[in-house]
Amino acid sequence: MRIVLFGPPGAGKGTQAKRLCDRHDLKHISTGDLLRGAIRKDTEVGREAKKHINDGALVPDDLVWELARQALSEQNNDNFIVDGFPRTVTQAEWLDAYLEGRGKPVSAVISFEIDPEQVINRLSMRRVHARTGANYHLDYNPPPPDVREEDLIQRDDDRPEAIRRRLEVYKNQTEPVKHYYERKGLLSCIESIGSIDEVSERIERVLRREDVLRK
């Protein structure tokens, strides 16, 4: 199955993607993680991407697609989750053309619905483990006691100015992707509030209802 997790930053897509991948043996493809990896390695793509990311803007489609296409082609079991991608209609069209060309189109798109105020809270309270990349929320999903405070970092794009810009970008450039998939009959919406377990259960229900597990 090939699932797209869609929604604003801070909606919990990354957390749920990891769970789904463990449970259903899927590969997790997060363009945000791929871009941060390129920045860490100081590649040409990474250096270009960094400017946009720290501003809260989108990285140009062709750069993101280069990384996404490579990740898609590296795995051959055709069972994966894309998280944080596609973020523009152009990216969605490229993804669809690529997957349809392989006879393995997107099985389902799950849209995480959440109020923007909650997004601001979640992102400003998010901390990331510098080495493992694990995400925590200081109140709702605190790091375990053995994690040292100095190992937790706040992403530059989780600072208030960048969060506001990311939400604006989401509304203007990414929300049209939702309508694109709605027209294709692939969209299911879930409420992304409540505990991590509650949100997981809503996703599992959609997968069962749409019979995605067998696609």
Binding residues (CB under 6 A) for ligand AMP: these are 9, 31-32, 35, 52-53, 57-59, 64, 84-87, 91, 157, 166
As a dihedral over the C-alpha atoms of residue 117, residue 118, residue 124, residue 130, rounded to 10 degrees, the angle is: -150
Q: Residue 215 is encoded by which pair of tokens?
A: 């696609």
Contact 57, 170 (CB under 8 A): no
Q: What 3-state DSSP class applies to 176?
A: helix
User: From the CB of 195, what's the least distance to ligand AMP, in Å?
Assistant: 21
Pick between residue 18 and residue 210 the one whose CB is nearest to ligand AMP.
18
Is 13 part of the annotated catalytic residue set? yes
**Sign, Cα dihedral of 166, 133, 62, 175:** negative
Cis amide linkage into residue 142, ω under 30° from 0: no
Residue, CB closest to ligand AMP: 32
Q: Annotated catalytic residue: which of 2, 122, 166, 202?
A: 166
Is 202 part of the annotated catalytic residue set? no
Is 87 part of the annotated catalytic residue set? yes
Q: Annotated catalytic residue: which of 87, 122, 127, 202?
A: 87
Is 215 part of the annotated catalytic residue set? no
Residue 54 has, within 13 A of its CA and on its CB side, a CA count of 8
Pick between residue 53 and residue 186 the one whose CB is nearest to ligand AMP.
53
Q: Annotated catalytic residue: which of 2, 122, 126, 202?
A: 126
User: From the CB of 31, what's the least distance to ligand AMP, in Å?
Assistant: 3
The count of other CB atoms within 10 Å of the CB of residue 67 is 22
User: From the CB of 115, what's the least distance to ligand AMP, in Å?
Assistant: 18
Residues carrying an active site annotation: 13, 87, 126, 155, 166
